[in-house]
Amino acid sequence: MSIVDSMKKTMLKQAGKFVGSVVRNASEETLYRLFATVSAVSKEPAKGGLKKLANMAKEKHPMIQSWRRVFQNANPKCVEKVMTNLVINEFALGEKIRQEKMLEHEVVLPKLLVISPTYACNLNCVGCYAGLYGRKYQLSKEEVWSLIRQANELGIYFFIITGGEPFVWPHLMETLKEFNDSYFQIYTNGTLITKEVAQKLAELGNATPAISVEGFETDTDWRRGRGVFAKISEAWKNLREAGVIFGASVTATRLNHDTIVKEEFWNFLKENDVAYSWIFQFMPVGMNPSMDLVPTPEQRYERFFVLDKLRLGGDFAFVADFWNHGFLTHGCLAAGSKYLHINAKGYAEPCVFQQFAVDSIREKSLLEILKSPFFTAYKRMIPYSNNLFRPCPIIDNPKVLRAMVKKFNAIPQHEGSEKVLTDLAPELDKLSEEWAKYADKLWYEYGYAEKYPSKRGIYDFEVRMNRYANNEEKLAIDKKA
């Protein structure tokens, strides 16, 4: 690294710390100036992103107002870590490293890594893919740390920890401390977040729990167990008092649909200081996959309008509906295009829901896995449909999943996972065909096709290089950028 680059890196980190310290009480005008300054010393594509944030602050965009509200209520350490670890390390500096490594290794790299260090859990929720294993499958501390180090080397500083229940894994807090320049989102049932745990998270600052909630007490306790809703409320209170930024993870099912499309539910989350929300549609995966809870196409369509309004509304820092917002990510994120999942057995799954794998971290490095024929083939095919409202090879384009598993002899990761390719195939074909009608309506009649045109092969290395050569895309490493 040149002296100039090194100075810029230090400046960016200092700027991040400074922003972190003042942002809690900053006006939109101050935020605008801060983001504009950081943008001025960054390169594409981080530069463009930061400039966009600066303009959003200038225009007093509802999302910026919402972030300000979140920051005002948060512990200063948590705010500082969002700025230094997520905005600076992952977004501004990490993007440049990822692109340098992309060129060096000739592979498009993901932005984040999802790790399930354990499948063990203290609950036994209806339809969970991991709940029945006990402590049979765990990653060691050394395995997880080696993975994070390898990812950091590639410029990845954002990690999602899921499971199983991450707080059951004995090395979680130690890991957050060891990698205090990375940022972690922890998908948790929340029941183990005591006052002490919340306090420790506040001191570390570099993790945000996303707590599973299915609706109000009836919906949540039906799926997660009696008394769980009360324990979630307790976890929210503990986190709020400690100033930890936390979110909600909502599984949309056929049964809780009516609850989660109601304003009342979202007001309730807001009143409880939930900062952000991810909505995951129930998927027929794991042991004995079933279609019983999968939302109907009509429900998915209705949910889109409710959640897109929430996404843009400013009540939350962000709201994302994992499948219905595929148009914001060029479709599927799997197989290292934007992320991949290392499961508790050590296997590298294309994504959390696509539970078939070829390679294991116990045999290959992270980079070798990202360059594997299985992942390369997936990335070359994204998006699987030109309509980005049909992003998924499991529920929207099931023929793709069947063909890929067959071609690469991918191993089912749970007993019964293969049913998604066999017993459930007719129902999945029908579901995808029915959804296609709604998806086409959204894509063509609501103008998304023009606004978010699909870019074939966007996650393939050669296609990306061609796009760069044709000035269709900028790179952070480009001196002109």
* Binding status of residue 89 toward ligand SF4 by CB under 6 A: no
Specify the residue, 351 or 475, whose C-beta has the smaller distance to ligand SF4. 351
* Binding status of residue 113 toward ligand SF4 by CB under 6 A: no
Count of residues of this chain found to bind ligand SF4 when the rule CB under 6 A is applied: 11
**Structure-token pair, residue 339:** 């992320």
* CA pair distance 132, 415, nearest whole angstrom: 11
Contact with ligand SF4 (CB under 6 A) among 63, 245, 294, 332 = 332
Residues 267-326 that bind ligand SF4 (CB under 6 A): 322
Q: How far is the CB of 210 from ligand SF4 (least distance, A)?
A: 16
Q: Choose the binding region for ligand SF4 from 59-67, 82-90, 180-188, 347-355 (rule: CB under 6 A).
A: 347-355
Specify the residue, 307 or 394, whose C-beta has the smaller distance to ligand SF4. 394
Phi–psi pair at 20, nearest 5 degrees = -55, -40
Q: How far is the CB of 373 from ligand SF4 (least distance, A)?
A: 18
* CA pair distance 56, 217, nearest whole angstrom: 37
Q: How far is the CB of 269 from ligand SF4 (least distance, A)?
A: 23
Q: How far is the CB of 400 from ligand SF4 (least distance, A)?
A: 9
Q: Choose the binding region for ligand SF4 from 3-11, 94-102, 348-356, 428-436 (rule: CB under 6 A).
A: 348-356
* Binding status of residue 391 toward ligand SF4 by CB under 6 A: yes
* CA pair distance 481, 464, nearest whole angstrom: 16
Distances (CA, A) of 84 to 13, 14, 49, 182, 225: 6, 8, 16, 9, 38
DSSP-assigned letters across all residues of 151-206: HHHTT--EEEE-SS-GGGSTTHHHHHHHTTTSEEEEEE-STT--HHHHHHHHHH--
The tokens 């959640």 sit on which residue? Answer: 307
* Binding status of residue 405 toward ligand SF4 by CB under 6 A: no
Specify the residue, 102 or 401, whose C-beta has the smaller distance to ligand SF4. 401
Q: How far is the CB of 284 from ligand SF4 (least distance, A)?
A: 12
* Binding status of residue 333 toward ligand SF4 by CB under 6 A: yes
Specify the residue, 35 or 278, whose C-beta has the smaller distance to ligand SF4. 278
Residues 181-200 that bind ligand SF4 (CB under 6 A): none
Specify the residue, 256 or 354, whose C-beta has the smaller distance to ligand SF4. 354
Q: Choose the binding region for ligand SF4 from 86-94, 248-256, 349-357, 405-413 (rule: CB under 6 A).
A: 349-357
Q: Choose the binding region for ligand SF4 from 19-27, 225-233, 253-261, 350-358 (rule: CB under 6 A).
A: 350-358
Q: How far is the CB of 392 from ligand SF4 (least distance, A)?
A: 3
Phi–psi pair at 475, nearest 5 degrees = -120, 145
* CA pair distance 148, 412, nearest whole angstrom: 25
* CA pair distance 453, 443, nearest whole angstrom: 10
* CA pair distance 415, 428, nearest whole angstrom: 19
Q: How far is the CB of 68 from ligand SF4 (least distance, A)?
A: 31
DSSP 360: B
* Binding status of residue 358 toward ligand SF4 by CB under 6 A: no
Contact with ligand SF4 (CB under 6 A) among 392, 404, 410, 463 = 392
* Binding status of residue 381 toward ligand SF4 by CB under 6 A: no
Contact with ligand SF4 (CB under 6 A) among 215, 295, 393, 398 = 393
Distances (CA, A) of 256 to 5, 286, 288, 475: 51, 20, 21, 43
Query: In sequence order, which residues have a C-beta less than 8 Å from that of residue 460 and are 6 or more positions away?
Result: 108, 376, 379, 380
- CA dihedral sign, ordered 396, 398, 403, 408: positive
* Binding status of residue 16 toward ligand SF4 by CB under 6 A: no
Phi–psi pair at 118, nearest 5 degrees = -150, 155
* Binding status of residue 424 toward ligand SF4 by CB under 6 A: no
* Binding status of residue 353 toward ligand SF4 by CB under 6 A: yes
Cα dihedral 384, 387, 392, 394 in deg (nearest 10): -80
* Binding status of residue 431 toward ligand SF4 by CB under 6 A: no
Phi–psi pair at 227, nearest 5 degrees = 90, -5
Q: How far is the CB of 56 from ligand SF4 (least distance, A)?
A: 27
Contact with ligand SF4 (CB under 6 A) among 252, 351, 358, 442 = 351
Distances (CA, A) of 83 to 66, 179, 360: 16, 15, 33
Yes or no: say if 457 and 380 are a contact pair by the CB < 8 Å rule: yes
Interface contacts to ligand SF4, rule CB under 6 A: 322, 332-334, 351, 353-354, 391-394
